[in-house]
Amino acid sequence: MMAEDVLCPFCGCLCDDIKVEVEDDQIVGVKRACRLGSSKIRGHERTKAPMVRVGGELVEATYEEAYDRAARILKDAKRPLLYGWCSTVCETHKKGILLAEEVGGVIDSTATVCHGPSIIGIEEKGLAGSTLGQIKNRADLIVFWGANPAEAHPRHTQRYSSNSRGMFTLEGRKGRKVIVVDVRETRTAKNADKFLLIRPGTDYEVITALRMIVAGKGDLIPEKVAGVAKSDLEEVAGIMKAARFGAILFGLGMTHSRGRYKNVDNALSLVTDLNGITKFVVMAMRGHYNVAGFGQVCAWETGFPMSVDFSRGAPYFNPGETAACDLLAKREADAMMVVAADPVSNFPRATVEGMAEIPVIQIDPFPNPTTLLSDVVIPSAVCGVEAEGTAYRMDGLSLRMKKIVDSPYPTDEDIMQNILDRVRRLGDDN
């Protein structure tokens, strides 16, 4: 059997044209996906059964035992942290938010160490956004700023941006100009018409210089800005002004360089300036396949997109105080649930040391470094392969993920509901 139009559960592209060959309820072939997506769909070494830590060692347990232990840890904690969420579906997010509210905890997503600054910048300035379909069909200029889709989003250029053919962009790459701004010459930069090599941490200065040139005040900037010649900046500004439909697609190179959310704020202002001359849009290149979805669901349910604290009896949002890394580094969290994420592999050392001092619950299909610190490990079905649900593409478009094969593992949503039910019963008993 060949499953058609499958959504890839890997990155924010959420490619929806994947073909998956199934025999005897097993995946035997994947077509059209990039090698990263194909690997995710095919799966790899799975966590075989639930585990709980006994005498310092993880030992196999039943799901009921794992649920009970997880519920007790969360119920006994004074300030539990529920983290991750971006490689699972929106239905799970809703259950997780209910659980966080029930235990008076803090819920935060992987966006806090990813495009969290971008979200804050967008909150301050507003977003001149679009769908990826609009970029594919209309954009004659693509600007990749601090982003390297050739490595991080392998099919993005082919399906949605620089190399794609659309309704009004029939020539594809030949009919577009591509500009790359980065601190090194990436694979994406090698394919650009114009590459600006800037000094690390100078994104704000470069954006400001471009804004001044666009505004007709280029005579006020020096002959070099952040290592870039004024003539090159004038050339880029001219290309931007001459575009019929331009798109700035930015990654963590902008978001996490010096300036952080102010870089994004300034880039949004540049797009506003350009929209007084032509048509321009801007978009964050989101990583995990449903990181955008968690922000949507969390905003609906709480009023805030991430780092939401329920300890006060009502949602409270203050990044720098309620974000996951801050809570762990300051030793304010006394328990942690990790859902569809691996913070041990990418958190700063101080925060991982904070995790090692508290009970940790992990819910994930696969073992990873976080498993080594966990006191409860609950394996789950792979969303988009063994479980269905809703996910949001990086442009904010909601899509429905399919279930392709059956699984012996429960879904993330079912696991959340089981733990939530037990937490509530513990509350009734007290």
Q: Which CATH class is domain 116-284?
A: alpha beta
What span, in angstroms and rounded, lies between the C-alpha atoms of 103 and 335?
Answer: 11
Residue 150 CB-density burial (10 A; 0-12 exposed, 13-18 middle, 19+ buried): middle
pLDDT at 430: 62
- Give the chain's length: 430
Quote the tokens at residue 238: 């001219």
3-state helix, strand, coil in the chain (%, to 5): 40, 20, 40
Do residues 285 and 111 make contact, with C-beta atoms less than 8 angstroms apart?
no
Distance CA 378, CA 69 (A): 11
Task: Find all residues with CB under 8 Å of 200, minimum gap 6, and list them.
Answer: 183, 257, 258
Give which of 168, 161, 155, 166 is closest to 141, Cα–Cα: 161
**26 burial level (CB within 10 Å; 0-12, 13-18, 19+):** exposed
Question: What pLDDT does residue 181 have?
Answer: 98
- Establish how many alpha carbons lie within 13 A of residue 92's alpha carbon, considering only the half-sphere containing its beta carbon: 34
Neighbours of 305 (CB within 10 A): 24
Cα distances from 77 to residues 111, 182, 287, 378, in angstroms, run: 24, 44, 31, 19
Domains of the chain, by residue range, sit at 47-114+289-429, 116-284
Burial code of 176-190, b = ≥16 C-beta within 10 A, e = fewer? bbbbbbbbeebebbe
pTM: 0.95
110 secondary structure, DSSP code:
G
**Alpha carbons 75 and 243: distance in angstroms, whole number:** 57
Q: Which pLDDT score, from 0 to 100, does residue 182 have?
A: 97
CATH number of 47-114+289-429: 3.40.50.740
Residues 392, 398 contacting (CB under 8 angstroms): yes
Report yes or no: 340 and 364 within 8 Å, Cβ to Cβ.
yes
Paired residues of 82 in beta bridges: 107, 337
Distance of CA 172 to the CA centre of its chain: 27
pLDDT in tens for each of the 430 residues of the chain? Answer: 899 999 999 999 999 999 999 999 899 999 999 999 999 999 878 999 999 999 999 999 999 999 999 999 999 999 999 999 999 999 999 999 999 999 999 999 999 999 999 999 999 899 999 999 999 999 999 999 999 999 999 999 999 999 999 999 999 999 999 999 999 999 999 999 999 999 999 999 999 999 999 999 999 999 999 999 999 999 999 999 999 999 999 999 999 999 999 999 999 999 999 999 999 999 999 999 999 999 999 999 999 999 999 999 899 999 999 999 999 999 999 999 999 999 999 999 999 999 999 999 999 999 999 999 999 999 999 999 999 999 999 999 999 999 999 999 999 999 999 999 999 999 777 6
Cα–Cα distance between 209 and 207 in angstroms, integer?
5
pLDDT at 89: 98
Q: Both tokens of residue 386?
A: 């063994």
Helices (H), strands (E): how many in the chain?
Answer: 16, 21
